[in-house]
Every structure is written in C-alpha cells, then in structure tokens.
Structure 1
Amino acid sequence: MNPSPEPATAIVFILLLSCIAFISVEGTCSDRCGTLDVKYPLGTGPGCGDPRFRSSVSCLNQQELIFSTHTGNYPIKSIDYSKSTITILDPGMSTCSFMKSSPNFGLDWTAPFQLDSSIFVLLHCSSPSSLVYKGNPLCDTSNSHICFSLYSCPGIVSFGVPPYSQAAASSCCVYSPVNLGPADDINLNSLHCSTYTSILSFGDSPTDPTQWEYGIRLKYNYGDDGNIPSVCGDCERSNGVCGYAIPRNTFVCACRNGVNTTSTCYGQEGFWSSSSSDLAVFTSMIVAVWITVLVTAFQQAM
C-alpha cells in the first residue's frame, strides 16, 4: 500500500494558491495610459494610485484614461499635476462646430473632484430668466456676450434657431452649476434646456467661438495638505508606481518587474529582468512543475 498523498497534496495546493495570488497582483499598475503620464493620486486601475480615486479614474485597454461618474464615462484630455486638475471631454457636449441635445452631467458626491475654472453655458433653454436656486439666479447676465458669440455658430440651426438672432441669445444661460451644491449636477431636463457647452479658454479670439477651447476642468483633492506622501515619493523616485493592497488599502510600491513592496523598488531587480513578463513566465513554470508533482502523487496512490 502506498503512503497517503494527503500531506503532499495539501502542500501542493497551498503553493498553487500562492503562485496564483502572486500572478494576480503582477503587472497591474502602470505610470502611463495612452499618451498620458499617470502619477499619484491617480491610478490606472484597482490597486493603483490612491484608493479614494479607484471608482473615478481608470485606464481603458491601456490606451485611454477615463473619468467615471454616475452620469457616464469621459475621456481625460490632460492632467496638470502642479495644479491638481484634470481636463475631460464630454462626447455629448455641444461645441461651436457641432451642436446636439446633450445628456446630463454630474459629479459623484463621494469622489474627491470638484468643478474648477470652466465656464458652463446652457443653450436652447425655454426660459433662462426663470432659472433660480434658493432665490438666486443661475444665469450670469454680465456675460451675455458669450451667448451672442455662441449663437453665431452654424450648428445652432440644428435647434431651429437662426444664428445671430435675439431669440437665440435670449435662450442662452451662462451658468454656474456650483450653486446646485456638492453634486455639481447639470440636469438639463429640470433646467428645461436642450444642450450645454463648457469653455476652457477663449484664447486670442474672445468673440470667435470657432477658436475657443472646449472641455471640463476638474480639481481633485487628496491628503490633508495636498502633498504626495513621502513613502509614495520614495517609491516613484525608485521607478515604482504607488498603489495599495486590497482589501485593507495598505500602501504598496509596484515595481516594473512585477514585484510589490511596502517601501521602494531599489534592490528589487535581483533575479528578475526589467520586464514583468519574465516574472509571469517563471511563475507559470513553478505552477506547471507543481501540477506535475500533484498528478504524479495521485498516480502513485492509485
């Protein structure tokens, strides 16, 4: 009678689970997504960056950095780490070249983002003068020249409104959504407007909307003082990517060779090459060897 294979089997399964767990965290974080550099507190996916940003920012197919809220997913156009801002594009938003009915836009209450310096303009509204919140008007009449400029855009005819007309300008509202509270929602249905646009810059042509820059700029907040934690700074200087271990959200430094540490990537090269694929291949070899051992043990026990 052959010896019982239970102890060996148990050891094999433990090692297999360890290898699988090791593979599952390997190579998940990157400091680049498409053409954008991704730094703390932003991350490319779960376990990367600051955990407070995990539901807001992700990398789609390693090609496009996406900002997500309850109203949709929006491509991130640029990031200014010195000012803690990101600029996003709403594909449903109107611009001078193309105007259409827009979906609502809003920020999540729990996300560490708020509207920054964008100028929001509501277009084709039924009665802008009646837009009030707690007795305060939501339309800034001192910037009515923006409305006149926008209604010179050829795209306005899609709403059946002649360009340059007084009727067109009177259905426009230069709008401050921060008056609606922390959610910063633009609910076009409740505002009785058809579409909106957001202006980042007038450039050198304050009266020519075809030359304006369109998009939505958001400011993000992290930490008590807005500074990168020293442990993360050390990690980035060692060519690592700051992240966190799920589910406790404890800090990890993800190294390019696939190793995760609690400090820095200095001295982590060791056996591994700079390519994380080498680590995956080696780990897969370990798994294959132990699967062979397991099969052999069972065959001997039969």
Structure 2
Amino acid sequence: MNFHLIITNKQKPISLLLIIQLIHSFSTLTNSQSTLCRTSCGTIPIQYPFSIDDGCGSPYYRYILSCSDSQKLELRTPSGRYPIHNVSYTDPHIVVTDPFMWNCEDGENYRPTRPFSLDTSTRFKLSPQNQYLFFNCSEENVIVKPKPMFCQQFPEHCDSSCDSASYLCRHLPVCSFAISGSSCCSYVPKAIESLRLMLMYCSSYASVYWRNVGAPQPYDQVPEYGIRIDFDIPVTTRCLRCQDQSKGGGGTCGFDTQTQNFMCLCKEGNFTTHCNDYDNARHNRNVHVIAGTVTGISAFGALGIGGGIWYLKKVRAKAPVTCGVQTNENRLF
C-alpha cells in the first residue's frame, strides 16, 4: 500500500510537467503559423497573390499552385497539372509548358495530345501574345489556307481560317526545318473550347508566346515555346496596410482558411489589419491558424488542455469527473 502511494506521488509532478509542455507546444505552434508561407519553390519566387501554403496569398488563387517534393512549381487546371517555367509579378503572367504538346524532337511523328484548359472561375486568362500551331489537320474539317500579311496587324478583318502561310510555321523556333510547311498552320483561338475543337481534327499542336527581351523594335520580342497566362493582382487597402513597413516591419497578406476573411500574417501572430495591431493579437494568435494544421494542432492542443483541467479537478476533488467530448468543426474546403 505504501509502495503504491510512493509511485502515485512521483507521477503527479511528471504528469503536471507533461501537461504544461503540451500547452506550451500548442501555443508555440499556433504563434508560428505565419512562418509557413514559403516564399519560393525551387528557383521561382512565390509572392502575393500566389501561395503554395493554404492561408497565404489571396483566396482567389487558393489551391492553384503546388510545389512538388522535387521543388517543381506546377499549375493546377481542369486538364491536369502543368510545370511552370517562370512567373512575372511586374508584368503579371506565368508561363507553363505542356508536356503533351508537340516539340522539335517529335518532328512529324505526332504523339497523342490533349487540349490545355483553364478554369473560367479563376482570375486567369490566356494571353493574346500566345500563338498556336496545329499540325497535320484534316482539311475536310478545318479551313487551312494562307492569309494576307495585313491579317497579322488587323486580324478582325480576316476570316477564321488556320493560316498555312504563318511566319512561325515557316520559322519554327529552335527547329526551323523540323516539319514541312504544308503540315502546319497557325490559329489564335477565341476561347479554350476552340482549342479543344481544333485538336479533334489535327494531330498535335504547339503553343508559342512572344517574350519581350527589352531590345529595340522590331527585335523586342522573340518566340518561345510555352503557354503564357495573364493574371490579376487583387490590391486592397487592408493588404497595403499589412505590407506597410511603418506598420511593424511589414506583414504577409493572407486569409482565414475557414472564413476566407483577410488576415495579416506577422512574426507576432495573425492580425486583422496590420502587424502593430496588438489589440487583437491575443485573440488572433489562438483562433486564426493558417495552412492545413488547423485540425491536427487544434485537436492536439484541445486534448492537452482538456486533459490538464481534468487532471487538476481530479486531484483537488478526488472524485471522478465526466468530461464532454470536444469536437473540431474546422474544415478545409
């Protein structure tokens, strides 16, 4: 009997210490969530409005980008995932590569392909600087004919045929003589659906965008393979205040993963306005958590705190205490 009491007395301080450590760990993890906003994936910088961590950036681009284990940035679209070649924030656009589209090594051996598509509910749109080349099209279903030169400057005055006299068909980037000119034509789809319809009657396609190199005209643009996608940068007063260096060193614009309301992510915690908003600090540190750690960390912390309260009540009252089951309603959409 005495031996049992000795063991029980030794367990009390150990249990209390464990509970304190659990509560401290939960608080530390919650306060440090703003550090989850990674600023790069491989060599590509990640800035507002984009993010690769949930709760960072703008909710308009939530789940759009992903960073693979090999540090490769990818764009998610209804037609699949596409490697991102580069991102520009000054001239807002991204360039993706479609591994299914034609490349120089294919020559006239056309592989099965699939049309690229965008989610029309996002703030992405295909850039007018894209030009699409279609190969080995059925002339019974697609109007393939040469267009006059003035059509390049005034396309609205020309028909919607696929131009077999296109400059790019005659001067394919990197591999000018990979195919014969008669099997290539250039077409600028008015919508993504047009691209899908064209590929029903053509063997393959390639997208070429005109990249600005900053040289004097007419040599200021060079053609490169890829799909340029333009995007909008939502600018709000709250985001500007959050990034303001005079408001506590500047924060990162983010959002609450449950409500998608704006959050300013700072070293001190997550605030509703800016990094010097200490009045709301205590509340926000404990409530607003970003990324997919909401469910796991909240449940873990709740169990630790609940266990501590249960243990103290048991020691003081020396009577069993029935605790209700605490559920976690936080869900990521």
TM-score normalised over the length of structure 1: 0.66
Pick one of 96, 109, 115 that aligns with 2:126. 115
Q: Which residue of 2 aligns with 1:140?
A: 163
User: How far 1:187 moved relative to its partner?
Assistant: 1.3
Deviations 1:105-133 (CA, angstroms, capped at 9, x unpaired) = 1111111111111221112222285279x
1:291 to 292, 299, 307: 307
Q: CA deviation at 1:152?
A: 9.5
Would you say 1:245 and 2:256 are equivalent positions? yes
Residue in structure 1 matched with residue 208 of structure 2 by the alignment: 199
Tell me: CA distance 1:65–1:241, structure 2 relative to 1, closer, same or farther (3 Å): farther
Shift of 1:56: 2.6
The residue that corresponds to 1:49 in the other structure is 57
Structure 1 residues 256, 195: closer, same or farther in 2, change over 3 A?
A: farther
1:147 aligned counterpart, secondary structure: helix
Counterpart-to-counterpart distance in 1, 2:31 and 2:201: 49
Runs (5+) with no aligned partner, structure 1: 1-11, 157-162, 205-210, 273-279
Q: Name the structure 2 match of 1:235.
A: 242
1:148-178 deviation line (CA, Å, top 9, x unaligned): 334994995xxxxxx4xxxx4222121102x
Tell me the CA shift for residue 217 of structure 1: 0.8
Residues 118 and 151 of structure 1: CA distance in aligned 2, closer, same or farther (over 3 Å): closer
Maintained 8 Å contact 2:170/2:176: no
Which of 61, 64, 67 is residue 75 of structure 2 equivalent to?
A: 67
Letter in 2 for 1:174: S
- Given the alignment, which residue of 121, 124, 130 partners 2:143? 130
> What is the Cα-based RMSD across aligned positions, in Å?
4.3
CA distances 1:31-64 after superposition (whole Å, capped 9, x unpaired): 3232222222222233221211114334344923
Residue pairs, 1:176-215, within 5 angstroms:
176-177=188-189, 179-180=190-191, 183=192, 186-187=195-196, 190-201=199-210, 213-215=224-226
- Aligned residue pairs, count: 251
Structure 1 stretch 101-110 or stretch 194-203: which is displaced more?
A: 194-203
Secondary structure of 2:125 counterpart: strand
Residues 85 and 220 in structure 1, CA contact (< 8 A), matched pair in contact too: yes
Structure 1 residue 93: Cα displacement: 2.0
Q: What CA distance in whole angstroms lies between the structure 2 residues aligned with 1:56 and 1:187? A: 22
Amino acid at match of 1:198: S
Deviation at residue 92 of structure 1 after TM alignment: 1.6
Matched, 1:261 2:271: yes
Q: TM-score, normalised by structure 2?
A: 0.60
Computing the radius of gyration from Cα coordinates, the structure with the larger value is: 2
Q: Answer with 78-87 or 234-243: which moved more.
A: 234-243
Q: Calculate percent identity across the aligned residue pairs.
A: 27
